[in-house]
Amino acid sequence: MLKILIPTIMLIPTIWLAPAKTVWSTALMQSLIIAFISLSWLHNSGETGWSSINHFMALDPLSSPLLVLTCWLLPLMILASQNHTTSEPENRQRMYISLLTSLQIFLIMAFSATEVILFYIMFEATLVPTLLLITRWGNQAERLNAGTYFLFYTLAGSLPLLVALLLLQNTTGTLSLLTLQYAPAFPMLTTGDKI
């Protein structure tokens, strides 16, 4: 897990320290190397259970393909947006790649989280780089309005999930996906719960 996460984190200082002529090619090559290394996670998709377990991050058959897809999206986004941002100043180009990289970092941590609250926090953390990408590099004039709608709808939609997670913690005493399956079941209090 860390063989992907640490090089992805180190991509941000690499972007800011690379010479101006090689920013895009450096970011592309390093993200492609990370994407190829992430293919090693696919061998776990056929197995049952968790692998690469530590207290907070692990792989399972559902998260492995999502993590590989996340790692492959960064070089594809860099390839697709390279020509569109060439007219921008150098610092804005570096900021753009840094935001894409931070989005990948948060998604890797969200998809590999074994704690449900860590998944929630990392998923909400993806809002910041996504909002900045929408409002700064959107093509249409309504990008600020779209960013505002995106932020409020996503936050309003995630509040019921936070309440459900707090209820789950209160009822079972844990939010770990590894031990949640061994927790006692929810009591069925209403007729809708019994259906």
- Residue 180: inside a domain: yes
Residue 92 reports pLDDT greater than 80: yes
Segments forming the whole domain that contains residue 100: 2-184
- The answer to whether position 136 is within a domain reads yes
User: Is residue 194 a part of any domain in this protein?
Assistant: no
Count the domains in the chain. 1
Give residue for tokens 């309005």.
145
* Digit-coded pLDDT (tens) for 137-181: 887 888 888 888 998 999 899 999 999 999 888 888 888 887 877
**Helix ranges, the chain (H):** 2-17, 23-38, 63-81, 90-111, 116-125, 127-137, 143-172, 177-180, 191-194
**More confident of the two residues 178 and 83:** 83
Residue 48 CB coordination number (10 Å):
7
Residue 13 within a domain:
yes
Question: Per the domain annotation, does 192 fall within a domain?
Answer: no
User: Is residue 176 domain-resident?
Assistant: yes
Q: Is the pLDDT of residue 189 over 80?
A: no
Q: What is the pTM of this model?
A: 0.87
Highest averaged pLDDT of the listed ranges 87-101, 159-173, 177-191: 87-101
Determine, yes or no, domain membership for 98.
yes
3-class state of residue 11 by DSSP: helix
Considering the domain boundaries, does residue 190 fall inside one? no
Task: State pLDDT tens for residues 24-80.
Answer: 999 999 999 999 999 987 775 445 577 776 777 888 888 889 999 999 999 999 999
pLDDT of residue 191: 63
**CB contact at 8 A, 43 and 133:** no
